[in-house]
């Protein structure tokens, strides 16, 4: 007769059977994730792994889950390494996951896309947040490995293009677990000390694992929070990291980053010569324009000066005077002619003309004309006027024609 078993005994027995089956230990199982639950308090993952015909419950404890570089999602096809056992309390067998890889794409590729999407939604890639790169930096900060080829490429380019800028170098690890914290701390330190006008952050090429430090969130936030403009220079031209999307400017290589951070001295000198020529030309043009304006103003001043106006008025007065004289002469000419005629007539009848023929005028003491000898008394003083003068005389004797009394 069979013994009566308890539920616990059955579950314990089945667990022992499953745990003792080597075929169910260290197995790889592929399927699609559904009903995924991230138990944030404990850090455990709970989900169902299914294919077209069946499903199995699965759990990934915190110790294994924290090693994942990506976050599992519903609908994601994965390959799981683990074992099958029984959860005695519920009598449910399930898959216990030790590791998980995306089926088709690598875990780092999936983690990269997930992190990129997350940070983009947080606004870390917003173009409006990006700062302009200074055109003439006096200090250029460089954050990279002190032993890699990238630092030599950067320094050579900066020395060739723009030797006037001071280079502030901070050596950090660019690969491994401590790389991301060192890079983030270096960026923060540059900002705290205001030690540069622009930062070059990067390294040479490598695999996705080698470049992973520049995909870490701590580095992304350090670049985003930097007040100093950041140029990312990670890997080769085909390599992209999270740092490239957050940075104010992405350079395809470290050498290109040095070119983007510095102006070309030869080009600056050429631009300076061009600007000097333009400035000289503008100054000369402006000087010539000012000289022409000054000459025009002097001419206007001369035309409107009091002396000029006085000369014009004098000329005008002279013209008016000549015109007036000419008009007056024309107007007086008839009268002058008449006057000449009258003068001739007057001259013909003038006493002086008569005197010139030998006649004399006699005047008494009062200047009255003595017309008759009868009016002259003996001893009277008379003035005899000739044509060329006068004579004062006394009448010694008065003789009248016969028959007239004196």
* pLDDT digit string, tens, across residues 335-388: 777 877 877 777 777 676 776 677 788 888 888 888 888 888 888 888 888 878
* pLDDT digit string, tens, across residues 296-326: 887 777 777 677 777 777 888 888 888 888 8
Task: Determine contact, residues 365/395, Cβ cutoff 8 Å.
Answer: no
Whole-model pTM: value is 0.54
Please, is 196 exposed, middle or buried when counting C-beta atoms within 10 Å of its C-beta (0-12, 13-18, 19+)? buried
pLDDT for position 153: 92
* Residues in contact with 318: Cβ distance below 8 Å, sequence separation at least 6, in sequence order: none
Q: Which residue has the higher pLDDT, 40 or 135?
A: 135
- The pLDDT confidence band at residue 403, using thresholds 50, 70 and 90, is low
CB atoms within 10 A of CB 95: 21
Q: Is the pLDDT of residue 106 over 70?
A: no
pLDDT for position 405: 57
> For residues 292 and 285, what is the distance between their CA atoms, to the nearest angstrom?
10
The residue-averaged pLDDT of 250-267 equals 90
- Average confidence score pLDDT of the chain: 86
Q: What angle do CA 225, 226, 228 make, to 5 degrees?
A: 155
- The pLDDT confidence band at residue 230, using thresholds 50, 70 and 90, is very high
Q: Is the pLDDT of residue 104 over 70?
A: no
- The pLDDT confidence band at residue 217, using thresholds 50, 70 and 90, is very high
Task: Determine contact, residues 226/197, Cβ cutoff 8 Å.
Answer: no
pLDDT for position 184: 97
**How far apart, in Å, are the Cα atoms of 105 and each of 51, 68, 113?**
18, 14, 11
Query: The sheet that has 361-363: what strands, in order across it?
Result: 361-363, 381-386, 389-394
- The pLDDT confidence band at residue 2, using thresholds 50, 70 and 90, is low
């Amino acid at each position: 007769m069979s013994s009566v078993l308890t539920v616990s005994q059955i579950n314990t027995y089945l667990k022992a059977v499953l745990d003792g089956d080597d075929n169910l230990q260290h197995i790889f199982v592929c399927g699609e994730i559904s009903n995924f639950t991230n138990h944030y308090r404990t850090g455990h993952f709970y989900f169902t792994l299914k294919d077209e015909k069946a499903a199995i419950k699965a759990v990934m404890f915190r110790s294994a889950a924290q090693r994942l570089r990506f976050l599992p999602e519903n609908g994601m096809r994965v390959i799981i390494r683990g074992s099958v056992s029984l959860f005695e309390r519920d009598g449910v067998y399930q898959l216990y996951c030790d590791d998980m890889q995306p089926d088709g794409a690598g875990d780092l590729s999936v983690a990269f896309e997930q992190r990129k999407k997350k940070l983009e939604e947080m606004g870390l890639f917003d173009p409006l947040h990006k700062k302009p790169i200074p055109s003439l930096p006096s200090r250029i900060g460089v954050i990279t490995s002190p032993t890699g080829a990238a630092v030599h490429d950067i320094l050579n380019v900066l020395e060739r293009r723009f030797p006037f800028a001071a280079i502030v170098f901070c050596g950090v690890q660019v690969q491994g677990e401590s790389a991301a914290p060192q890079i983030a701390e270096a960026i923060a330190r540059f900002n705290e000390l205001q030690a540069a006008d622009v930062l070059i952050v990067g390294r040479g090429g490598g695999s996705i694992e080698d470049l992973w430090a520049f995909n870490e969130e701590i580095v992304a936030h350090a670049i985003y929070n930097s007040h100093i403009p950041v140029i990312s220079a990670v890997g080769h031209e085909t390599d992209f990291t999270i740092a490239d999307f957050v940075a104010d400017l992405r350079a395809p290589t470290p050498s290109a980053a040095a070119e983007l951070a510095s102006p070309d001295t030869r080009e600056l000198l050429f631009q300076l010569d061009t600007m000097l020529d333009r400035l000289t030309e503008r100054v000369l043009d402006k000087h010539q324009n000012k000289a022409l304006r000054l000459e025009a103003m002097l001419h206007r001043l001369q035309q409107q000066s009091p002396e000029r106006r006085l000369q014009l008025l004098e000329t005008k007065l002279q013209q008016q005077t000549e015109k007036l004289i000419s008009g007056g002469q024309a107007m007086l000419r008839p009268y002058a002619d008449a006057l000449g005629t009258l003068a001739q007539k007057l001259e013909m009848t003038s006493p002086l003309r008569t005197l010139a023929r030998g006649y004399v005028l006699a005047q008494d003491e009062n200047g009255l004309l003595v017309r008759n000898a009868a009016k002259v008394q003996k001893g009277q003083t008379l003035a005899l006027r000739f044509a060329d003068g006068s004579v004062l005389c006394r009448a010694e004797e008065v003789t009248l024609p016969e028959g007239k009394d004196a």
